[in-house]
C-alpha cells in the first residue's frame, strides 16, 4: 500500500470515497470490484475512530428485535455469515450468556426465550459456511445453578437462569478494516491516510467534481478529481457536508452517541463466554473475554459538540463501572482496576427517539442532488457488521449516476486480502508445524491477525535477527513494526501500536517496549530525534487514563 497523494498527477477517478473507516473501506472495495477507478481519502489513520471503538463483536443485533427491526436483524445475521466466510482468521463464533432475571420484564426468561427463537429463525442459513469450523448451533436455556457454576461472578440475586446462544467476535477490527482496504487496492483502488478534505470542487451547475485536500505531513494542498464523491465520514458526515455551505443549502447536524469500553485484568468471567447482563434501567452491557483480559462495554449516551473534541472522560468510565457494580459481580470493580479505555462516537440516523440506546443502527444513503449538489452521496448510520451490504446498496446509486450497468456484487464470494484460508484450524496447525524456529504464542498471534500475510513478517525477522524480539505475552515481535511501515502505510507511532499491531491495545506496554518500537519506526520513517520524542509523547498521552 502506498499513499497515492504523494505521487498524484491529476488522475480522474470515477469514485472518491471520503473516510477510511469500515464504511469507507467497504465502499471502496465494492466500487473497485465493479471496475471503477477509486480513490479513498482519510483525514487521519484508517479505522482510527468509530471503527476502532467497537465491542469486537460481529452480531445480528438481538436487542433490535425489541424495536421490531426484523429486517435489520436478518440482514445483520446474513452478513455475520458472510464475514465468517470472507475473513475467517478475524471472525469466530463465540458462545454468549444472556442472564434471565425477574426484573426488568424484558429480561424475563420467557421474553428472552421468545426473542431467541426468533433470532434462531432469522439466522437460517447460518451454517452454510465455507469452513465447517465456523458453524453456529441453536440457542439453549440453562438453569440458575448452571449459570452460577459456569460464571460464578454473575449476580445471584434475582437470577432465574440464562440463554446460551452464539454470535461472533472480531479479534482485531482495525486489521479487518485494513483487509477491506487491501482488497480494494488489489482491485486497483488508490488510498491515502492523513489526507484531510478541506473543500469540494463545485462547478457552475453546482455539480461536485472533486475535493480539495491537505497532506497532513507535508502541508501541500491538492485537488483530486472525480465524477462521484461519497461522504463516508461517520460522525464527521455533517462536518464534511458543511464544506458545501458557502455554495448551497448546507446540512442538518448529525445526532451522535458516545460508546466507551474499559479493559481490566480483574478476573470477572471464565473466558469461555461473553456474558451479557442487564441493568435495572433495562440497558445491556457485555463482559467479553479478549486476549486474557475482560473487555467491558458499551455505553450509549448522547454527545453534543464537535467530534474533533471528543475524548473519553473519567466520569464516563466511572458511570460504566457503576453500572457494572449495580448489576454484576461483588460490586467492587474500581477505577484502579481499569487497565485501558477507548471510546468513539456513533452516527445516528433516527431523530424520533430521545434515548440514543433505543435508536436504530440502520443506515441511510442520501443522494445530495436534492440539496443542490449533484455528484455527492452521503452515507449515515450503520454498524460494522452490515458495512459490506451497505456498500453493495450504495453502488446501486453510484452506478446509476455514472450511467453504467450496476453489475453483480462479488464481495460476498471472495476472501479478503490475506484471508484466503479454507480451514482455519488446519491453517494454524500448519503454521505451527512449519515454523518451529518461532515461539508458539508468536505463531498463534501472527496466523490469526495476519492470515496468509504472516509469512512475510517471519521472512523479515529471519533476515534481521533483531526483529525476532518478543514484545508482549501474546508473542508480538519487532518485525511487525517494520511490516506496518513498509507494507501497511503506518506513519505514526500510534498507527503502529494501536491499529497495525496490538502492542498498545491492552494499555501502555511500558516505556522500554514503546521506546524500542519508536526507535525502529524512526529508522524506517527517517524521523529525527525531535519527531521521535513527539511521537513518544503523543502515544503516551493517548495511553494514559483520563484524570478528568
78 within domain boundaries: no
Query: What pLDDT sits at residue 466?
Result: 98
pLDDT digits (tens, 9 = 90+) for 129-169: 999 999 999 999 999 999 999 999 999 998 999 999 999 99
Residue 59 belongs to a domain: no
297 and 314 both lie in a single domain:
yes
CATH number at residue 343: 3.30.9.10
Among 228, 242, 226, residue whose Cα is nearest residue 369:
228
| Separation CA 31–CA 15 (nearest Å) | 8
What's the pTM value of the predicted model, to 2 decimals?
0.96
**Is 68 in a helix, a strand, or coil?**
coil
Structural domain total, the chain: 3
Residue 40 sits in the same domain as residue 165:
no
**Residues 371, 354 share a domain:** no
Does a structural domain hold residue 86? no
Residues ≥6 apart with Cβ < 8 Å to 448: 89, 90, 171, 428
CB-based burial of residue 367 (10 Å sphere; 0-12 exposed, 13-18 middle, 19+ buried)? middle
CB 53, CB 342: distance < 8 Å: yes
User: Which of 349, 383, 413 is the last residue before a domain boundary?
Assistant: 413
Rounded distance between C-alpha atoms, residue 358 and residue 277, angstroms: 17
524 shares a domain with 440:
yes
- CA dist 302 and 304 (Å) reads 7
What CATH number is attached to the domain comprising 44? Answer: 3.50.50.60
In a domain, 157, yes or no: yes
What pLDDT was estimated at residue 351?
52
Distance CA 3, CA 420 (A): 25
Which of 105, 62, 58, 63 has its CA nearest to residue 85?
Answer: 58
Quick one: 29 and 166 in the same domain?
Answer: no
CA distance 49 to 342: 10
Of 167, 164, 173, give the one whose Cα is nearest residue 93: 167
Using alpha carbons, select from 41, 29, 6, 46 the residue that is nearest to residue 188.
Answer: 29
Are 226 and 12 within 8 A, CB to CB? Answer: yes
Pair 316, 207 in one domain? no
147 contacts 94 by C-beta, under 8 angstroms: no
> What one-character-per-residue DSSP string does 77-88 give?
HHHHHHHHHH-T
Number of residues written out for the chain: 548
Residue 10 within a domain? yes
Q: Determine the structural domain holding residue 493 and report its residue range.
A: 424-542
Q: Are 227 and 220 in contact (CB under 8 A)?
A: no
3-state secondary structure of 294: strand
Residue 160: cis peptide before it, omega within 30 degrees of 0: no
Which regions in the chain score pLDDT beneath 50?
Answer: 247-250, 352-360
pLDDT tens, 410-448? 999 999 999 999 999 999 999 999 999 999 999 999 999
Residue 85 C-beta-side C-alpha neighbours within 13 Å = 17
Crossing angle of helices 109-122 and 70-86, rounded to 10°: 60
Query: 384-411 pLDDT, tens per residue?
Result: 999 999 999 999 999 999 999 989 999 9
**Cβ contacts of 152 within 8 Å, gap of 6 or more:** none
Q: Are residues 158 and 266 in the same domain?
A: yes
Say whether both 186 and 282 belong to one domain: no
Looking at the fold, whether 243 and 293 belong to one and the same domain comes out as no
Is the same domain home to 467 and 483?
Answer: yes
DSSP character string of 129-175 = -SSGGG--PPPEEE-HHHHHHH-TTS--TTEEEEEEEEEEEES-HHH
Last residue of a domain, one of 358, 375, 402: 358
Q: Which of 543, 498, 507 is nearest to 172 (CA)?
A: 498
Of 339, 358, 377, the position where a domain reaches its end is 358
pLDDT per residue over 190-218, tens digit each?
999 999 999 999 998 889 999 999 999 99
User: Cα–Cα distance between 358 and 494 in angstroms, integer?
Assistant: 34
Query: Is there a domain that residue 64 lies in?
Result: no
Q: Is there a domain that residue 125 lies in?
A: yes
Q: Quick one: 202 and 241 in the same domain? A: yes
200 and 154 share one domain? no
Q: What is the CATH number of the domain that holds 523?
A: 1.10.8.870
Cis amide prior to 156 (ω within 30 degrees): no
Specify if 20 maps to a domain: yes
Amino acid at each position: 500500500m502506498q499513499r497515492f497523494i504523494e505521487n498524484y498527477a491529476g488522475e480522474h477517478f470515477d469514485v472518491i470515497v471520503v473516510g477510511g473507516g469500515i464504511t469507507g473501506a467497504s465502499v471502496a472495495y465494492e466500487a473497485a470490484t465493479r471496475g471503477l477507478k477509486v480513490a479513498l481519502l482519510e483525514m487521519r489513520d484508517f479505522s482510527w475512530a468509530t471503527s476502532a471503538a467497537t465491542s469486537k463483536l460481529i452480531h445480528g443485533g438481538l436487542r433490535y428485535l425489541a424495536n421490531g427491526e426484523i429486517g435489520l436483524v436478518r440482514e445483520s445475521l446474513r452478513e455475520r455469515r458472510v464475514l465468517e466466510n470472507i475473513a475467517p482468521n478475524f471472525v469466530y463464533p463465540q458462545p454468549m450468556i444472556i442472564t434471565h432475571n425477574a426484573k426488568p420484564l424484558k429480561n424475563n426468561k420467557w421474553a428472552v426465550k421468545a426473542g431467541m427463537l426468533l433470532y434462531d429463525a432469522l439466522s437460517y442459513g447460518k451454517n452454510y459456511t465455507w469452513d465447517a469450523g465456523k458453524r453456529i448451533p441453536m440457542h439453549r436455556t440453562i438453569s440458575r445453578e448452571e449459570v452460577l457454576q459456569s460464571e460464578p461472578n454473575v449476580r445471584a440475586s434475582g437470577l432465574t437462569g440464562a440463554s446460551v446462544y452464539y454470535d461472533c467476535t472480531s479479534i482485531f477490527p482495525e486489521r479487518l478494516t485494513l483487509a477491506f482496504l487491501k482488497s480494494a487496492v488489489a482491485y486497483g483502488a488508490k488510498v491515502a491516510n492523513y489526507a484531510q478534505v478541506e473543500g469540494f470542487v463545485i462547478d457552475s451547475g453546482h455539480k461536485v467534481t472533486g475535493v480539495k485536500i491537505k497532506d497532513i505531513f507535508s502541508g501541500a494542498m491538492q485537488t483530486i478529481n472525480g465524477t462521484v464523491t461519497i461522504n463516508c465520514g461517520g460522525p464527521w458526515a455533517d462536518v464534511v457536508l458543511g464544506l458545501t455551505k458557502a455554495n448551497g443549502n448546507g446540512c442538518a447536524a448529525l445526532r451522535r452517541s458516545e460508546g466507551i469500553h474499559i479493559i481490566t485484568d480483574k478476573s470477572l468471567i471464565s473466558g469461555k463466554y461473553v456474558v451479557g447482563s442487564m441493568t435495572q434501567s433495562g440497558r445491556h452491557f457485555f463482559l467479553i473475554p479478549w486476549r486474557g483480559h475482560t473487555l467491558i462495554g458499551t455505553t450509549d449516551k448522547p454527545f453534543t459538540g464537535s467530534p474533533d473534541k471528543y475524548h473519553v472522560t473519567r466520569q464516563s468510565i466511572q458511570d460504566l463501572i457503576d453500572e457494572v457494580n449495580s448489576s454484576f459481580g461483588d460490586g467492587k470493580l474500581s477505577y484502579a482496576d481499569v487497565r485501558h479505555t477507548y471510546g468513539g462516537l456513533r452516527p445516528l440516523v433516527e431523530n424520533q427517539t430521545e434515548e440514543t440506546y433505543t435508536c436504530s443502527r440502520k443506515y441511510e444513503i442520501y443522494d445530495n442532488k436534492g440539496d443542490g449538489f449533484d455528484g455527492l452521496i452521503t452515507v449515515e448510520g450503520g454498524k460494522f457488521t452490515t458495512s459490506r451490504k451497505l456498500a453493495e446498496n450504495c453502488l446501486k446509486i453510484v452506478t446509476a449516476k455514472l450511467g453504467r450497468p450496476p453489475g453483480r456484487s462479488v464481495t460476498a464470494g471472495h476472501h479478503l486480502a490475506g484471508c484466503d484460508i479454507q480451514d482455519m484450524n488446519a491453517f494454524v496447525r500448519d503454521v505451527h508445524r512449519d515454523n518451529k524456529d518461532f515461539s508458539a504464542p508468536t505463531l498463534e498471534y501472527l496466523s490469526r491477525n495476519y492470515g496468509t500475510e504472516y509469512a512475510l513478517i517471519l521472512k523479515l525477522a529471519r533476515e534481521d535477527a533483531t526483529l525476532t524480539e518478543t514484545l508482549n505475552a501474546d508473542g508480538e515481535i519487532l518485525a511487525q513494526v517494520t511490516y506496518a511501515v513498509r507494507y501497511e502505510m503506518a506513519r505514526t507511532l500510534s498507527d503502529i501500536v494501536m491499529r497495525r499491531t496490538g502492542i498498545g491495545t491492552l494499555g501502555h506496554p511500558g516505556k522500554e517496549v514503546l521506546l524500542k518500537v519508536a526507535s525502529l519506526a524512526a529508522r524506517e520513517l527517517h524521523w529525527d530525534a525531535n519527531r521521535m520524542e513527539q511521537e513518544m509523547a503523543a502515544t503516551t498521552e493517548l495511553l494514559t487514563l483520563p484524570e478528568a
